[in-house]
């Protein structure tokens, strides 16, 4: 059985009688239970995090960084075990599950170094005998609400910058992947994090998540999930003027121009569209193709999609695992039906559940699916499906490609595949997304760079990289006047 537990004020507790059932998406079988935490558990966790704050926030940042460096080492030693847990709880294939863990390891090593930086600025003053500078200060208890699609990586993206900056943490992971989050917190403790500095409360979004967002002693909320929930979280946090970071959906486009290497383009598209069964917020779900190569690319992509091996994520040679839950499968089926009914769109391959051997008959699998002849305003070209479905849109030139690319509500990741430097440069500036990939697909973030999107994807913040440090610290501006007299800014010029 998977062990999803709460860790509050230095004490682990197991699921009680009113537990949340957890499933293996590859088989549909029950794999464990998570505690159904609510207001009482959130209150206790916030209390513990508050009590731990004075000591942790005054621990020298390099010392905090050393603990987080050890986290990287602990996770390396447990990488295989954590990877297996990722596949078991949310289904992604082995390489990606291990990559999920690797991303947290990378974040640990990166952020450990930040303990010796946490830079502010020094700058001249407009007045003589005066120096100006900025310092970073910890904020307090950070409430972190995470989804299931990167069940180890996303808790690390949020918690590690928060911790190195001197904050304490209450983590509310997804209902689906509580075991991964539990194991991640175990690693933090094994690395030497003091009691109370990190707390984890399992539970539903409506109970535990909501209580965390509304808690008056939690000044910072960082949330990754659906746009719908992100709006609710933002509204609930607004009356208390909290710092809120929301990282939401995407409808990411890959532009392929006439001069592209099509065999390479197909590899990039398959990886972007079907990696994590299309359940990444950066998934490539719109392929915007110039007229001259459209038919050839479609032919090659269809062959590639049909050749994707669907099956249990931990088995050898599997490209596409299951989707996370039955309701995700139903949503994908709904969009395939919408696509088939949209005038002109053509289902080229996939579109249903694959026939798998009996061990996986109860799993939540969906075939890699390609729609062709999609037009930019169709629902399958506008709405996030979060499954292995991609849509080809035909365009005449780069200008039209950019216009189509930018014509959605979302703005997370965009990509262009061309050999022409000028077209790449033009797209780099013109694509309205937080992330742009030149000569690749839309997926594949690195931890030392800012991650996030514009428009309906987010609210202007970025996680990871130095921007993660910015979000989890408060800037203090310091003026030091050693003139010995009264000097008035803007007046005594
Ligand atoms: P998904 O449907 O992909 O699981 P959600 O946005 O519903 O995406 O969930 C992302 C995270 O947000 C999960 O940890 C979930 O429990 C939590 N959550 C859901 N609803 C709320 C809410 N009203 N307040 C706070 N957190 C929530």
C-beta 145 within 6 A of ligand 1: yes
Of 158, 205, 211, 250, the one to substitute when testing ligand 1's pocket (max ligand atoms within 8 A of C-beta) is: 205
CATH 3.30.230.10 fits 252-438, yes or no: no
Q: For ligand 1, what atom is nearest to the CA of residue 146?
A: 14
Q: Residue 399: how many CB atoms within 10 A of its CB? A: 11
pLDDT tens digits along 29-54:
999 999 999 999 999 999 999 999 99
CATH 3.40.605.10 domain extents, the chain: 2-248+458-477
Active-site pick, 142, 165, 187, 281: 281
Q: What is the DSSP letter of 434?
A: S
Tokens of 163: 């911790």
C-beta 210 within 6 A of ligand 1: yes
Q: For ligand 1, what atom is nearest to the CA of residue 229?
A: 6
* 187 counts as catalytic: no
Are 402 and 427 a contacting pair, CB within 8 Å? yes
* Residues ≥6 apart with Cβ < 8 Å to 323: 25, 91, 277, 278, 279, 329, 332, 364, 365, 366, 386, 387, 388
Task: Kindly give the distance from the C-alpha atom of residue 133 to the centroid of ligand 1, in angstroms, as a whole number.
Answer: 39
Task: Kindly give the distance from the C-alpha atom of residue 459 to the centroid of ligand 1, in angstroms, as a whole number.
Answer: 17
Tokens of 343: 């005038």
Task: Kindly give the distance from the C-alpha atom of residue 130 to the centroid of ligand 1, in angstroms, as a whole number.
Answer: 49
Task: Kindly give the distance from the C-alpha atom of residue 229 to the centroid of ligand 1, in angstroms, as a whole number.
Answer: 6
Instruction: Name the 3-class secondary structure at 168.
Output: strand
C-beta 249 within 6 A of ligand 1: no
Task: Kindly give the distance from the C-alpha atom of residue 19 to the centroid of ligand 1, in angstroms, as a whole number.
Answer: 17
C-beta 226 within 6 A of ligand 1: yes
CATH 3.40.309.10 domain extents, the chain: 252-438
Q: For each of the chain's 493 residues, which pLDDT tens digit applies?
A: 778 999 999 999 999 888 999 999 999 999 999 999 999 999 999 999 999 999 999 999 999 999 999 999 999 999 999 999 999 999 999 999 999 999 999 999 999 999 999 999 999 999 999 999 999 999 999 999 999 999 999 999 999 999 999 999 999 999 999 999 999 999 999 999 999 999 999 999 999 999 999 999 999 999 999 999 999 999 999 999 999 999 999 999 999 999 999 999 999 999 999 999 999 999 999 999 999 999 999 999 999 999 999 999 999 999 999 999 999 999 999 999 999 999 889 999 999 999 988 888 999 999 999 999 999 999 999 999 999 999 999 999 999 999 999 999 999 999 999 999 999 999 999 999 999 999 999 999 999 999 999 999 999 999 999 999 999 999 999 999 999 999 999 999 7
Task: Kindly give the distance from the C-alpha atom of residue 309 to the centroid of ligand 1, in angstroms, as a whole number.
Answer: 31
C-beta 225 within 6 A of ligand 1: yes
Q: For ligand 1, what atom is nearest to the CA of residue 203?
A: 16
Q: What pLDDT shows up at residue 112?
A: 98
Task: Kindly give the distance from the C-alpha atom of residue 234 to the centroid of ligand 1, in angstroms, as a whole number.
Answer: 12
C-beta 174 within 6 A of ligand 1: yes
CATH topology of domain 2-248+458-477: Aldehyde Dehydrogenase; Chain A, domain 1 (3.40.605)
Q: Where would I find the H helices in 238-317?
A: 262-274, 291-307
Q: What pLDDT shows up at residue 236?
A: 98
Q: What pLDDT shows up at residue 343?
A: 87
Distance between CA atoms of residues 417 and 25, nearest Å? 34
Of 229, 242, 247, the one to substitute when testing ligand 1's pocket (max ligand atoms within 8 A of C-beta) is: 229
Q: For ligand 1, what atom is nearest to the CA of residue 148?
A: 4
C-beta 155 within 6 A of ligand 1: no
Q: What pLDDT shows up at residue 356?
A: 87
User: What is the reported pTM?
Assistant: 0.97
Q: For ligand 1, what atom is nearest to the CA of residue 232?
A: 23
Q: What pLDDT shows up at residue 3?
A: 86
C-beta 229 within 6 A of ligand 1: yes
Q: What is the DSSP letter of 320?
A: B
Instruction: Name the 3-class secondary structure at 145.
Output: strand
Distance between CA atoms of residues 404 and 402, nearest Å? 5
* Residues ≥6 apart with Cβ < 8 Å to 227: 248, 249, 384, 456, 457
C-beta 468 within 6 A of ligand 1: no
C-beta 213 within 6 A of ligand 1: yes
């Amino acid at each position: 059985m998977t062990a999803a537990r709460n860790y509050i004020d230095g004490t682990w507790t197991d699921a009680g009688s009113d537990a949340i059932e957890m499933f293996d998406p590859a088989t549909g079988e029950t794999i464990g239970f998570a505690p159904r935490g609510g207001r009482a558990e959130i209150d206790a966790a916030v209390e513990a995090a508050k009590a731990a704050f004075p000591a942790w926030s005054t621990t020298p940042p390099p010392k905090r960084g050393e603990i987080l460096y050890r986290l990287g080492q602990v996770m390396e030693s447990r990488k295989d075990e954590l990877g297996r847990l990722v596949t078991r709880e949310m289904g992604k294939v082995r390489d990606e599950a291990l990559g999920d863990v690797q991303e947290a390891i990378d974040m640990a090593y990166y952020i450990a170094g930040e303990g010796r930086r946490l830079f502010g600025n020094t700058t001249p003053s407009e007045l003589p005998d005066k120096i100006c500078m900025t310092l970073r200060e910890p904020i307090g208890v950070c409430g972190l609400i995470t989804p299931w699609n990167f069940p180890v990586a996303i808790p690390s993206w949020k918690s590690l910058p928060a911790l190195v900056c001197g904050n304490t943490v209450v983590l509310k992971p997804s209902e689906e992947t509580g075991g991964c989050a539990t194991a991640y917190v175990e690693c933090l403790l094994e690395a030497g994090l003091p009691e109370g500095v990190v707390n984890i409360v399992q539970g539903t979004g409506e109970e535990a998540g909501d209580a965390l967002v509304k808690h008056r002693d939690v000044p910072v909320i960082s949330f990754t999930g659906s746009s719908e929930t992100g709006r609710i979280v933002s509204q609930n946090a607004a009356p208390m003027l909290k710092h809120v970071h929301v990282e939401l959906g995407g409808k990411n486009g890959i532009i392929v121009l006439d001069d592209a290497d099509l065999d390479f383009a197909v590899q990039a598209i398959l990886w972007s569209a079907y990696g994590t069964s299309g359940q990444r917020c950066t998934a490539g779900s719109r392929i915007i193709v110039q007229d001259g190569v459209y038919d050839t690319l479609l032919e090659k992509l269809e062959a590639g999609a049909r050749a994707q091996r669907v099956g249990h994520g931990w088995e050898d040679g599997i490209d596409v695992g299951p989707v996370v839950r039955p309701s995700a499968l139903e949503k994908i089926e709904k969009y395939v039906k919408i696509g088939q009914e949209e005038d002109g769109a053509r289902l080229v391959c996939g579109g249903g559940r694959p026939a798998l051997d009996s061990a996986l008959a109860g799993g939540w699998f969906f075939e890699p699916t390609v729609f062709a002849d999609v037009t930019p305003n169709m629902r399958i070209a506008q709405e996030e499906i979060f499954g292995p479905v991609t849509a080809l849109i035909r365009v005449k030139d780069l200008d039209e490609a950019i216009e189509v690319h930018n014509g959605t509500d979302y703005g997370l990741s965009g990509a262009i595949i061309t050999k022409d430097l000028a077209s790449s440069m033009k797209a780099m500036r013109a694509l309205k997304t937080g992330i742009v990939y030149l000569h690749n697909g839309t997926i594949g973030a690195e931890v030392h760079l800012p991650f996030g999107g514009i428009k309906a994807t987010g609210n202007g913040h970025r996680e990871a990289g130095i921007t993660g440090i910015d979000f989890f610290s408060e800037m203090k501006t310091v003026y030091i006047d050693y003139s010995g007299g009264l000097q008035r800014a803007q007046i005594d010029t």
